């Protein structure tokens, strides 16, 4: 039912991962049910099938870049929309069974991305330890708790869930690393505009037209729409055919963004609307505030221009 708050949530599992930690920052999810899924596709298909109201999946990492499987899943299948973004600091810890000391550690379980992001720390503090790849941060913590490995590189929530002692915290090589997650639901009215929103799109360009990508960018630029991210992914149809994922500052309810979407619809082979939702604010610093509309491109300017044109067409201009 439109407007009904979600109560059943699914997230990229297993338990004890950054995805669960991110989901628990959503008040409705903290009160509702939270079910781990084995993959991004399984999580999103659960929403499509009505088995869950919303899914939390990773979109991009400030170190590793876009999560391609999420973009592919959003571009294919029955449409889904993003209703919220969650940006979570990626703070890895080294966890082990209580009583273990750093000198005891000979094997370390870690997801490949986790070990990559902690490479320098591991090299400097555990140069002789063998790092064993596992499927997730949660699996790393579980393996250490079961005694399969001496220690694990994992999320703080994973260490707590498996009752591991934290031998070292904040071990990532990039202390300011973050992961951006998307809360995804079945299509419905987007959240109301806040004045500081993002709109996500999947845009398919005409591959046989010169300047096709430029025409996409121009539809945004001439209306003063700020493009905050662009990613390309192959469509799988043939070499050289791509879908472009765009994040634009603004809300579908904004006149200038609405006109830009109409323009994209005219010039693109296809456009999939992936949602308008509040932008995550890191701080109240001037650099983290929304960029105001350029002169002549505010909603008020559009309304004034539309009223002026209406008077001309009616023969009542003065």
Assign domain 93-168 to its CATH superfamily. Periplasmic binding protein-like II (3.40.190.10)
Question: Fold match between 1-89+177-188 and 93-168?
Answer: yes
pLDDT in tens, 263-309: 999 888 889 999 999 998 765 555 667 777 778 788 888 888 888 88
User: Is the pTM here over 0.85, yes or no?
Assistant: no
pLDDT in tens, 224-240: 899 999 988 887 776 66
- CATH hierarchy code of domain 190-317: 3.30.70.260
Residue 100 to residue 151: CA distance in whole angstroms: 9
Tokens standing for residue 147: 């005694």
* Total Cβ atoms within 10 A of residue 242: 17
Q: What are the domain boundaries of the chain?
A: 1-89+177-188, 93-168, 190-317
The token pair at 25 is: 């920052």
Homologous superfamily (CATH) of 1-89+177-188 is: Periplasmic binding protein-like II (3.40.190.10)
Q: For residue 43, give Cα distances in angstroms to 74, 234, 273.
A: 11, 22, 20
For the chain, the residue count is 318
The CA distances from residue 262 to 8, 43, 273, in Å, are 34, 31, 11
pLDDT in tens, 40-96: 999 999 999 999 999 999 998 887 788 888 999 998 889 999 999 999 888 899 999
């Amino acid at each position: 039912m439109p407007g009904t708050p979600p109560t059943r949530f699914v997230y990229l599992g297993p338990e004890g991962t950054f995805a669960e930690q991110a989901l628990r920052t959503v008040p409705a999810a903290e009160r509702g049910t939270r079910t781990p899924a084995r993959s991004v596709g399984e999580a999103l298909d659960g929403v499509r099938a009505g088995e869950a109201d919303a899914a939390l999946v990773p979109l991009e990492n400030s170190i590793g870049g876009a999560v391609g499987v999420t973009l592919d899943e959003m571009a294919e299948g029955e449409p889904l929309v993003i209703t919220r973004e969650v940006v979570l600091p990626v703070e890895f810890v080294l966890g082990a069974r209580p009583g273990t000391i750093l000198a005891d550690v000979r094997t370390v379980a870690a997801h490949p991305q986790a070990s990559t992001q902690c490479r320098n720390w591991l090299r400097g503090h555990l140069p002789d330890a063998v790092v064993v790849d596992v499927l997730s941060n949660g699996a790393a913590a579980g393996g250490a708790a079961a005694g399969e490995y001496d220690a694990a590189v994992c999320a703080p929530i994973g260490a707590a869930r498996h009752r591991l002692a934290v031998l070292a915290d904040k071990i990532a090589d990039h202390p300011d690393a973050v992961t951006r997650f998307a809360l995804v639901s079945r299509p419905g009215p987007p959240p109301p505009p806040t004045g500081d929103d993002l709109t996500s799109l999947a845009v398919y360009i005409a591959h046989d037209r010169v300047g096709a990508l430029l025409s996409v960018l121009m539809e945004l630029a001439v209306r003063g729409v700020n493009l905050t991210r662009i990613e390309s992914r192959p469509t799988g149809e043939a070499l050289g055919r791509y879908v472009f994922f765009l994040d634009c500052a603004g809300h579908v309810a904004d006149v200038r963004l609405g006109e830009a979407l109409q323009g994209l619809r005219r010039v693109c082979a296809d456009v999939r609307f992936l949602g308008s939702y509040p932008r995550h604010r890191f701080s109240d610093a001037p650099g983290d505030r929304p960029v105001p509309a350029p002169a002549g491109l505010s909603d008020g300017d559009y309304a004034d221009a539309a009223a002026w044109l209406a008077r001309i067409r009616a023969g009542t201009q003065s």
